[in-house]
Amino acid sequence: MQPRNSTRDTIAVGLGVCVICSLLVSTAAVYLKPKQEANKRLDIQKNILVAAGLLESGASIDPAKVEELFARIETKVLDLTTGQFTDEYTPAEFDADAIESDPATSIRLTAEQDLAAIRRRANFRLVYMLHEGPELKRLILPLHGKGLWSTMYGFLALEGDLNTIASLAFYQHGETPGLGGEIDNPLWKAHWAGKQVFEPGEWEEPKIEVIKGSVDPESANAEYQVDGLSGATLTSRGVTHTLEFWLGQDGYGPFLETLRGGEQNG
Ligand SMILES: Cc1cc2nc3c(=O)[nH]c(=O)nc-3n(C[C@H](O)[C@H](O)[C@H](O)COP(=O)(O)O)c2cc1C
């Protein structure tokens, strides 16, 4: 008879444990995926509601209430190239990642174009609007761009005049807590409200920027400037470049032009 701690038994037990564990992990991953997707979707919806001014940041809220509030937001699929809404996709079936990675539905940005350091730009994006009666109250634009360590994903909310910033918030990034991670700090985020994106008439090039140091309220450019994050100039610069890209001609520029001209379709 073989001793119980033979090499063969040890290997068999090890393999058995591996197979059982991998089965458990893969079953859990498959089982939990829909729940994870639903949570992700809920989180995005909450961020959009905060950007729309319909929900307080950090407020705890029932998922059913999120759905109810979100029904007030109009979600549209935008063709970035034409600056017009499109029926090519419905918001429900819209898969931003798939569209961005498919060369047929995205463009590769040249070094000169790629201010936000994102390499590819999808040709279509979801945008969100809050109306009060017929009037556009908030326009919520998703944007992303490179900070120092990571791609930062957020929402810029513009007032109905399409020039005044209501808020800028990043919901996902990997910047260093206490340094670049201060983009999450409510005190810093508060600096954005009321700032202007464009100098009137100069609609081609956004003027808004995060500067190094503090904004001088007496400066002629104060309304286009936000305080830099101390010790995090590179993340701050990433935020400026992200805005510069998404509000420029390769981003939402053509769409903003359409809205300004009042000739938006749909
Ligand atoms: C461990 C570590 C983490 C850092 N994280 C960030 C960061 O998230 N964002 C950032 O802009 N700078 C970060 N920095 C600092 C940058 O290297 C750089 O010094 C800084 O952006 C310059 O900003 P300042 O001119 O305001 O000092 C980090 C530095 C170290 C050592």
Integer-rounded Cα Rg, in Å, for the chain is: 23
Report how far ligand 1's centroid is from the alpha carbon of 175 (Å).
Answer: 9
- CA–centroid distance for 82 within its chain: 21
pLDDT value of residue 224: 98
Ligand 1: which residue has its CA nearest to atom 12? 232
Ligand 1 centroid vs 192 CA: distance in angstroms?
22
Cβ atoms of 145 and 30 closer than 8 Å: no
User: What pLDDT was estimated at residue 30?
Assistant: 81
How far is residue 239 from each of residues 6, 50, 109, 169, measured CA to CA in Å?
61, 19, 18, 11
Q: Which ranges of the chain have pLDDT less than 70? A: 1-4, 262-266
Closest residue CA from atom 10 of ligand 1: 232
Spacing, Cα 98 to ligand 1 middle (Å): 33
pLDDT at 3: 60
Measured from the Cβ of residue 83, the count of other Cβ atoms closer than 10 Å reads: 19
Q: Mind listing the pLDDT tens digit for each residue in 190-224? A: 999 999 999 999 999 999 999 999 999 999 999 99
- d(CA 238, ligand 1 centre) in Å: 12
What's residue 262's pLDDT?
A: 65
Cα–Cα distance between 126 and 133 in angstroms, integer?
A: 22
pLDDT attached to residue 265: 42
The per-residue pLDDT for 107 is: 97
Rounded to 10 deg, the angle between the 63-70 and 7-52 helix axes is: 40
Cβ atoms of 171 and 147 within 8 Å: the answer is no
What local confidence, expressed as pLDDT, does residue 2 receive?
Answer: 56
Minimum-distance ligand 1 atom for the alpha carbon of 234: 11
Q: Which residues line ligand 1 (CB under 6 A)?
A: 148-149, 175-176, 179-180, 230-235
Which residues pair with residue 121 across a beta bridge?
Answer: 107
H or E stretch at 8: helix 7-52
Q: Identify the residue whose C-alpha is closest to ligand 1 atom 24.
A: 231
The letter for the amino acid at 29 is A
Distance (Å) from CA 179 to ligand 1 centroid: 6
Which residue puts its alpha carbon closest to atom 16 of ligand 1?
Answer: 232
pLDDT attached to residue 133 = 95
Angle at 141 between CA 136 and CA 142, to 5 degrees: 155
